[in-house]
Chain A
Amino acid sequence: MSFLIDLLAASLRNATPLVYGTVGETYAERSGVLNLGIEGTMYAGAFAGFATAWATGSPLIGLLAAIIVGVLSGALMALMTVTFGANQHVSGIGLTIGLIGLSEFVNRLIFQGGELQRIEPMPAVSPFGALELGEAGVIFEQYGLTWLAFLLVVPAAWWVLQRSSFGLEIRAVGENPEAADAAGINVARTRYAALMIGGALMAIGGAFITLALLGSFTLDIIAGRGWVCVALVIFGRWRIGRGVIGALLFSLVFSLQFRLRILPEFAALPFELLLALPYLVVIAALALSGRNVAYPGAYLKPYRRS
């Protein structure tokens, strides 16, 4: 019982960066831009958040710094793909290479490769602490950013995208920019906004790892989580709700293997195969749906007014 409760609590915790990243990438892709800068944006968010929190002593200021870095990263991606109309995937890879390099460069300058610096991580909060849940209460002892993700960011991001006029504009410029332009929507401005919001969310996802989960920054801290988010967006068919379910499923498998691999009776299991599942599932799902994959209409296409 306690194993199960512990597992569920860890799944919610580990899903948090993926949820932020997946929602952020969904915003970018629904506006018509595949942002492969996500891995670098999460990395830069993780580093900027940590370094700022370490310097100021305040995780909240760290979070703010991460958000600023994320917005700037989204703006740079927009400059490349919207203003210049450059190749989206090459731009995204360039952004990722550059941001990881820059983060590690500044990390080296500040900390000189000395011993690992730590900050006091953000505390876990249990808003339902007053309720008598017994052992199961552990599930609800989560970081503020986890609560924020599931209770506020996901519903709000869904509502904005699906119900607000701004969300309609994002979807319109992602499906058919020519028609959106004819209807008086500013295609460039809308894509800039979607990429900057998406970048902020990705960076928060990265910062969650350093500011809450670990309280420290180590190299390769994102370790492909950004690519997992790219997979989850497709797994969720560009829907926020389904993407979040995908993040929870992946996180459940991840947390489970993490707990099993330290037990001697499971030592022989190929855990790497479990970790490869989300990627393989997405590729299999793409293969099975064949020609019916409903990509956003303007996926990978720059828009230039003729």
Chain B
Amino acid sequence: MSEFLNMGGYAVYVWSAYGVAAVVLIGLVVWTLASLRRVRAELADLEALAPRRRRRAAAASADATPDTPGTTSGSAPHAQS
């Protein structure tokens, strides 16, 4: 077992590399899931606030393709900085 951990004397390098990989990959998963939870909570709050009629209308506009030109909400034809 200790030979396994020692990695022929290169323990620092091998385990650091695997450690970095683990941190990045697990970090990506955790970050994504946490963001999902937060946004879903926000969505639930907003849907609870909006009355039923407006909720259906808002849901319809969210389901519709966001790519139809001219209907992207809030965008002026030429947005200048």
Partners in one complex: no
Using CB atoms and an 8 Å cutoff, list the residues of chain A in contact with chain B: none
